[in-house]
Amino acid sequence: MPRKEEKIFSSLLGAQGYFRQSRYLSFALITLSPLWILYELLALQAGRHHHAILRNKADVLLKYPVLEFGAAGWIILALPILLCLIYIYRHEWGRVRITVPFFFYPIIEGATYASVMGLLIHRLIGALSLAAPTLQGTSNPVMLAMGAGVYEELLFRGLLYWLPVHLILLRWREHPIYIYLLMAVTSSFLFTLFHYDVFFIRWDYAAVFRLIAGLFYCLLCSVRGLSVAVWSHFLYDFFLIF
């Protein structure tokens, strides 16, 4: 194999390659930081020009303890953060080697999954004569798509799926597939419920779509890592704008 092709193969599929590295939690936290910072900067800029700024609901929910209780709210947020840091230290410390291209690979991979997902969904809703979901007409749709990708994935695939699965598997390692399935269904149901204003779901196309989408993002989170799930979610919502 020529040296150039061998180098590309190693960077993608080698022991320290992208496809292995991208499954680590620490990889996701590092490579997603530019998207998170950009979202927060856009929200800050929008807030300067409007008396009220529409943020993603998951963003508001995750920050609610701090907004409501001040410094004491950080104690509530500290527990999941501490658990994640302990997990990284015990299971990932010294294993992650991130290079500049690794920041771009999840974008390409996420765009691929988002495109396939969008194509299948739009064909389905076209065949059933249903209205396609859209972000058009909303205030700051690109910013909201970023917030959905970052904060909804952190909440529903990170805190309500990935973290419980790994905590449970620390004690009960038998039949892990059932743990993954149980938490995937639970977090996806909560993800669906989250998009309604009351604790009642009208099981129409939108609800079924969100449930299936939640399961799909759980699958991506498990197989390809949280960073790929975030980029897939954001880019799918971004494509809806156009």
Q: Would 192 be classed as within a structural domain?
A: yes
More confident residue, 119 or 232: 232
Domain count, the chain: 1
Does the pLDDT of residue 92 top 80, yes or no? yes
- The predicted model gives 104-118 an average pLDDT of 92
pLDDT in tens, 7-34: 555 666 666 789 999 999 999 999 999 9
Tell me, what's the pLDDT at 72? 78
Name, in order, each residue with C-beta under 8 angstroms of 118's C-beta and a sequence gap of 6 or more.
Answer: 236, 239, 240
Residue of 214, 230, 197 lying closest to 32 (CA atoms): 230
CB of 106 closer than 8 Å to CB of 228: yes
Does the pLDDT of residue 233 top 80, yes or no? yes
Does the pLDDT of residue 54 top 80, yes or no? no
Please tell me what DSSP assigns to residue 135.
-
- The predicted model gives 82-91 an average pLDDT of 91
Does the pLDDT of residue 150 top 80, yes or no? yes
Name, in order, each residue with C-beta under 8 angstroms of 70's C-beta and a sequence gap of 6 or more.
Answer: none
Residue of 124, 153, 175 lying closest to 220 (CA atoms): 153
At 69, the amino acid letter reads: F
Q: Would 203 be classed as within a structural domain?
A: yes
Residue 214's domain spans which residues? 23-241
Q: Would 52 be classed as within a structural domain?
A: yes
pLDDT in tens, 115-139: 988 777 666 655 555 555 555 555 6
Tell me, what's the pLDDT at 141? 83
Q: Would 51 be classed as within a structural domain?
A: yes
Alpha-carbon distances, residue 144 vs 140, 186, 192, 220 (angstroms): 6, 24, 17, 21
Question: What is the total residue count of the chain?
Answer: 242
Q: Would 217 be classed as within a structural domain?
A: yes
Q: Would 237 be classed as within a structural domain?
A: yes
Q: Would 171 be classed as within a structural domain?
A: yes
Half-sphere exposure of 135 (CA within 13 A, CB side): 20
Q: Would 12 be classed as within a structural domain?
A: no
Strand ranges in the chain using DSSP code E only, listed in sequence order: none
Which band of pLDDT confidence, cut at 50, 70 and 90, is reported for residue 62?
confident
Note the maximum CA span of the chain.
60
Instruction: Return the structure tokens found at 189.
Output: 């149901």
